[in-house]
Structure 1
Amino acid sequence: MRSKAPARTSGQGWLLRRLFAATLAAGSLSAVSAPAQVALKPDTPNLLFWSPDQQARWYPAMETVYQTRTIAAGDRIHALPLAGGEIDPVFTHAGKTWTVDAYMEAYKVSGLLVIRDGKVLLERYGLGRRPSDRWTSFSVAKSVTATLVGAAIQDGYIKSLKTPVTQILPELKGSAYDGVTLRQLLMMSSGVRWNEDYGDPNSDVAKGPTEGLKLAQGKPGLNPVVAYMRTLPRAHPPGTMFNYNTGETDLVGILLARAVGKGIAEYASEKIWKPYGMEADAAWVTDPGGLERGGCCISMTLRDYGRVGQFVLDEGVVDGRPILPPGWAREATTKQIDNGQAGYGYFWWMQPNGAYQATGIFGQSITTFREDRIIIVVNSAWPKSGGPDLREGRVALVTALRSAAAAR
């Protein structure tokens, strides 16, 4: 039975939602100049500082805390049959021997899923979560947004990745975005100056929400994100330098909605959720104006996270019909620019172990080993947004799970 569509709720405070979005992208717990998110209930604490109990209660129910739009599922469900026999590796990390259950308890994992060749090798839940419960994605949503850009190109709404940003968002003409392409936005390499230093009250992430709201006042139709972004100067030639830029992930969401002429939750339903066969409706957090955030917070079931990974691994082909342009999925999940680590694609992170990964703070990830056709989903409620200790623990788990899955 499908999950009921989350009710769409109301809210106010574009300013704080923008600041929340930027804070999520940087994975920082630093203090910010204003509450990070406007909640439906005034006594809701800042999401970045939720207690473990609040994480466990609200990560599965974001639509009860913030405004969302529904990504509607359809009548069909893409089967994920059991492989016949569960993997259960034991591994060593930080001088200790770990079982999967011990890892899940220590790292506050609510859901763990391993798929190989479309079959489930491991599916476990924690923190009181049930299989029908959704869980928020944080920045895993960015990878979904990039996938929808591919669908919009296939549908002819966007001509190509070479399309100038100003062609779809003419409000940016005359700014540092002149000459910047959609591809460069997806690579986070526009060359436009952006500062995400939360210790600096004059950084873009700190002052951008306030300034954008002021700049958009009295200008109907001007999105506050666009209003602020178009004031920024150029720092590098387009396409030459990776710079993680939260504002630009929102620009891509705005650009996509403008191009397709509808909300991107509706478009996600049309291009992925219904045709590919997600099992339940999803909830996409929006700003108070109802615009889904291109960079954050889709709530979906654990198996639907797996289906997102499988959809991309299948290169967006459904019943022989391409949803994405030929080669798009592989290009998006292959290194396009040096980021000082293993590389970055189109809102997908490359990993040193050869995988590509959609990643969100507090322990959300879809890790795919293309050649092995293995997908590993982890949903968590880490006690902090990130850090080497948490990431290294997840790498150890994923490595063990991959080895066990590949041996089957």
Structure 2
Amino acid sequence: MKKSLIALAIIASGTLSVAHAVNSEGKTRVEMGATQANILHPDVNRYTYKNLSEFVHTKQIDNGGYKQVIELRKSNKPLNLNMNFDHLGKELNLLEVLHKHRADAFIVLKDGKIVAEQYFDGQSERTHHQMMSVTKSFTGIIAASLVAEGKLDRDALVGTYIPQLTHSAFGAATVGQVLDMTNNLHYSESYEDPNSEVFKHAKTVGLTPKEPGYSGPQTIHEFLEGLKKDGERPHGQEFHYLTANTDVVAWLISSAEGKPFSEVLEERIWTRLGMERGAYLMSDPASVGLASGGLNGTARDMARFGQMLADGGKNLLGKQIIHPNAILETERGGDPSKFAQGGIVKGHYEVGRTKTSFGIR
């Protein structure tokens, strides 16, 4: 019997802010004023997040063709989207929340069937959308599978798999420490600071523009090779959410499998889950996919992935596609003491120099 999957895909347009998000339905990029220089800006990102392939390099992820599609059926017991619910003592309406936060798609599965599905601002069950850090979940579960299969050793040093990272912050960290994000890394995740490492990271794939005279790293791998430790704190002591780690994980996956991460994603996930459509990854000029935040897919295919995780690694036909030990390890989670050491207390954690609450963005 399938496990229930509650609230899978809210796709919001608010990376920077939703306060000034402009509706994009029926508009062209020219009418929106969208260019490669302002992809993330809230005035245009309702367009750019649905049409990212117009602005950046991409890697295509094939679904294996229509014969591979596993139908996602609708339940005969639909969920009322006009429902009210309690949040921190305040009564809210679901549809009002979706509109207020500029959601583009909303889908809920129960026991593998659609009980709610709603699209906004020109999004549909067929259109792609930028998934940002949801991409990390795909990268992480593939890496966990390779560990379970014995193709990656959690106790091995990253530098033994990737010699190019030997003298970087990652070289002497173990694979497990990078997977768990407990390695010591100087990397600011502050989205309000244009000089932070996460913005420099984004420049390698064109998400943020390179200023005149820019002489920094041109590719994801070049960027990772230049990162250093944050002082002398030993690896493995504290958890910190740092996007760069996931692109190192993808590099480890590529090393272990002997092929680009995008091909591994296609072979292990996209062609085995019965996805309705192909997907694509943002990539750098060297054709390396952004495994930390570059995935673009449909809401229904995101729901298929979420249902697979809820069902212990099985697709909608009950076929095991992810090693069950990878699912068990993911469900077990990380070491609470290392989360506490990293500043996570009562649902808050420090990101760069800003305090952020857990929640859906």
Interval of TM-score (by shorter of Structure 1 and Structure 2): 0.7 to 0.9
Matched, 1:247 2:244: yes
Distance between the aligned counterparts of 1:216 and 1:56, measured in 2? 29
Distance between the aligned counterparts of 1:146 and 1:83, measured in 2? 30
1:325-344 equivalence runs, <5 A: 325-338=323-336
Q: Per the alignment, in what secondary structure is the counterpart of residue 49 of structure 2?
A: helix
In 2 relative to 1, CA 43–278 (structure 1 residues): closer, same or farther, beyond 3 Å? closer
**Residue 48 (structure 2) aligned to one of 33, 58, 63:** 58
Distance between the aligned counterparts of 1:329 and 1:342, measured in 2? 24
Residues 108-162 of structure 1 show CA distances to partners (whole Å, capped at 9, x for unaligned) of 1111111111111111111121111111100110111111213334555x33322
Quote how far apart the aligned CAs of 1:182 are.
Answer: 1.3
Distance between the aligned counterparts of 1:105 and 1:287, measured in 2? 34
Unaligned ranges ≥5, structure 1: 1-26, 30-40, 353-385, 396-408
In 2 relative to 1, CA 64–339 (structure 1 residues): closer, same or farther, beyond 3 Å? farther
In 2 relative to 1, CA 188–341 (structure 1 residues): closer, same or farther, beyond 3 Å? closer
Aligned to 1:85: 77
1:87-236 equivalence runs, <5 A: 87-88=79-80, 89-93=83-87, 97-153=91-147, 156=150, 158-196=151-189, 204-205=197-198, 223-229=221-227, 231-232=228-229, 234-236=231-233
Contact 1:215–1:228, Cα closer than 8 Å, also in 2: no
In 2 relative to 1, CA 50–191 (structure 1 residues): closer, same or farther, beyond 3 Å? same
Matched, 1:265 2:262: yes
Distance between the aligned counterparts of 1:182 and 1:276, measured in 2? 27
Distance between the aligned counterparts of 1:202 and 1:90, measured in 2? 42
In 2 relative to 1, CA 208–69 (structure 1 residues): closer, same or farther, beyond 3 Å? closer
Contact 1:78–1:277, Cα closer than 8 Å, also in 2: yes
Residues 276-302 of structure 1 show CA distances to partners (whole Å, capped at 9, x for unaligned) of 211100011111111001201211111
Distance between the aligned counterparts of 1:153 and 1:314, measured in 2? 20
In 2 relative to 1, CA 256–210 (structure 1 residues): closer, same or farther, beyond 3 Å? same
Distance between the aligned counterparts of 1:331 and 1:203, measured in 2? 32
In 2 relative to 1, CA 105–292 (structure 1 residues): closer, same or farther, beyond 3 Å? same
In 2 relative to 1, CA 43–109 (structure 1 residues): closer, same or farther, beyond 3 Å? closer
Matched, 1:313 2:305: no
Aligned to 2:283: 286
Quote how far apart the aligned CAs of 1:324 are.
Answer: 3.0
Q: Per the alignment, in what secondary structure is the counterpart of residue 123 of structure 1?
A: strand
In 2 relative to 1, CA 68–327 (structure 1 residues): closer, same or farther, beyond 3 Å? same
Matching residue's letter, 1:84:
N
Matched, 1:299 2:296: yes
Quote how far apart the aligned CAs of 1:306 are.
Answer: 0.4
**Sequence identity, in percent?**
25
Q: Per the alignment, in what secondary structure is the counterpart of residue 148 of structure 1?
A: helix
Quote how far apart the aligned CAs of 1:95 are.
Answer: 7.5
Distance between the aligned counterparts of 2:223 and 2:239, measured in 1? 20
Unaligned ranges ≥5, structure 2: 1-14, 18-32, 205-213, 348-354
Distance between the aligned counterparts of 2:325 and 2:202, measured in 1? 37
Q: Report the TM-score, using the length of structure 1 for normalisation.
A: 0.65
Q: Per the alignment, in what secondary structure is the counterpart of residue 105 of structure 2?
A: strand
Quote how far apart the aligned CAs of 1:216 are.
Answer: 7.2
Contact 1:337–1:343, Cα closer than 8 Å, also in 2: no
Quote how far apart the aligned CAs of 1:249 are.
Answer: 2.1
CA root-mean-square deviation: 3.8
Contact 2:190–2:196, Cα closer than 8 Å, also in 1: yes
Matching residue's letter, 1:226:
L
Distance between the aligned counterparts of 2:290 and 2:156, measured in 1? 21
Distance between the aligned counterparts of 1:279 and 1:206, measured in 2? 33
Matching residue's letter, 1:106:
K
